[in-house]
Amino acid sequence: MAHDFPFLARQFRTRGEPTDIAAVPVGHINDTFLVATGSNRYVLQRINQIVFTKPVEVMANVARITGHIRTKMETAAPGSASRQLAVVATKDGNAYYQDAAGNVWRMYNFIENAVTYDSLQSAALAREAARMFGWFQSMLVDLPGPPLYETIPGFHNTPRRFERFREVVKADAANRAKDTKAEIEFVFANAAICHVLYDLVKRSEIPVRIAHNDAKINNVMFDTGTSEGVCVIDLDTVMPGLSVYDFGDLVRTATCPAAEDERDLSKVAVDPQLFEALAQGFIEGAGPFLTPAERQHLVFGGLLITFEQMIRFLTDYLAGDVYYKVHRDDHNLDRTRTQMKLVRSILGQEESLNRLVERAL
Ligand code: GN1
Ligand code: MG
């Protein structure tokens, strides 16, 4: 589908007229474009409405979150406030533009002199990334007003994800179950992982707060000069969640230098040094408000989120690649296998990783 990008870019209150627009091939969900106006750059995104069925609620959340963080930063660290994400309004003053075909577009400021990484090898960066996600949660503990919308209902409801997995295996719509027997068996054998945090929430033994819920390593930006964390991005799933989900997503994406879709599984394992740096950084950022139950479940958060991600990739593979963007044959299967390997790696080191958390505390 061809979009009229010059027209779309002109709907927003940019400084200067848009001159260049280029696609940026990032993310598994939304479509992202870079808009330049000569003096300034912006990020234009089309929200994936199959995934986010209520984009208006997404943008209502995003406007509240970015506004709150900016306001706090203006007092706490004025120099950094302008390097936080901000929604660029449309010329009509809205947080998004809906085109004639119903697509929902939004624009952010582009954060200059900052980079993201898809994976890490540096303990210093791992520590800084985790500190940033802890900081991000801490910024939102006092968000005023009603709870944020649940932009994807049941996003980390792992028991429900498991039930859906079970149905998809049964239906086997793409006739792929025969090629993934080992992976399917692994999910069934480890199904008990799915219920642990869910049950703690039900018994009110672990607090539901505002979490990022997609705390992948590539959703934090670092300054190109100092390597310090600048801001947290990709805010569509910021909503009620558990603190340890975010730590868990960092364990999943920042403790192993291999890519999420690496085919050589010998490269896929949790590196305890990177893990220790993560634990230190997260405790530095979020430590002041973490409850004992949250502290005790940091490693488990890594296990849960990685296992959930394995289930999600395998579910999508079995369903015929309907959710995640895929760029090659069996892409979701390759992703499934890296996650499975990581789950094994966490299970194999659970005790020693827990000791590293205790040491960091
Ligand atoms: C998706 O688009 P991206 O890469 O930031 C997904 C996450 C997954 C991740 C796996 C809304 O995030 O939940 O963990 O892929 N986002 C959504 O890499 O489903
Ligand atoms: Mg992202």
**Collapsing DSSP states into helix, strand and coil, what is residue 258?**
coil
Range(s) of the chain covered by CATH 3.30.200.20: 5-112
CATH of domain 123-360: 3.90.1200.10
Q: Note the pLDDT of residue 26.
A: 87
Q: In the block, which residue shows the tokens 């890296």?
A: 338
Nearest ligand, CA 219: 2
Pocket of ligand 1 contains residue 262 by CB under 6 Å: no
Q: Which residues pair with 220 in a beta bridge?
A: 232
Nearest ligand, CA 234: 2
Pocket of ligand 1 contains residue 51 by CB under 6 Å: yes
Residues of the chain predicted below pLDDT 70? 1
Most distant CA atoms of the chain, gap in Å: 58
Pocket of ligand 1 contains residue 29 by CB under 6 Å: yes
Residue nearest to atom 17 of ligand 1 (CA): 29
Q: Which amino acid would we find at residue 15?
A: R
Query: How many other C-beta atoms lie within 10 A of the C-beta of residue 262?
Result: 18
CATH class of domain segment(s) 5-112: alpha beta
Q: Note the pLDDT of residue 1.
A: 64
Q: At what angle do helices 181-189 and 298-319 cross, to 10 degrees?
A: 140
Q: Note the pLDDT of residue 2.
A: 87
Nearest ligand, CA 214: 1
Handedness of CA 271, 274, 276, 279 (dihedral sign): negative
Backbone angles phi, psi at 46, to 5 degrees: -100, 120
Pocket of ligand 1 contains residue 237 by CB under 6 Å: yes
Contact 127, 49 (CB under 8 A): no
Contact 35, 27 (CB under 8 A): no
Q: Locate the ligand 1 atom nearest the alpha carbon of residue 219 and give its number.
A: 5
**Span from the CA of 322 to the centroid of ligand 1 (angstroms):** 14
Q: Locate the ligand 1 atom nearest the alpha carbon of residue 48 and give its number.
A: 11
Quick: pLDDT tens for 70-103.
Answer: 999 999 998 889 999 999 999 999 999 999 999 9
**Span from the CA of 27 to the centroid of ligand 2 (angstroms):** 5
Q: Locate the ligand 1 atom nearest the alpha carbon of residue 253 and give its number.
A: 18
Nearest ligand, CA 30: 1
**Span from the CA of 260 to the centroid of ligand 1 (angstroms):** 11
**DSSP-derived secondary structure letter, 147:** P
Pocket of ligand 1 contains residue 316 by CB under 6 Å: no
For 172, the token pair is: 């086997």
Pocket of ligand 1 contains residue 28 by CB under 6 Å: yes
Pocket of ligand 1 contains residue 27 by CB under 6 Å: yes
Range(s) of the chain covered by CATH 3.90.1200.10: 123-360
Distance of alpha carbon 319 from alpha carbon 301, whole angstroms: 26
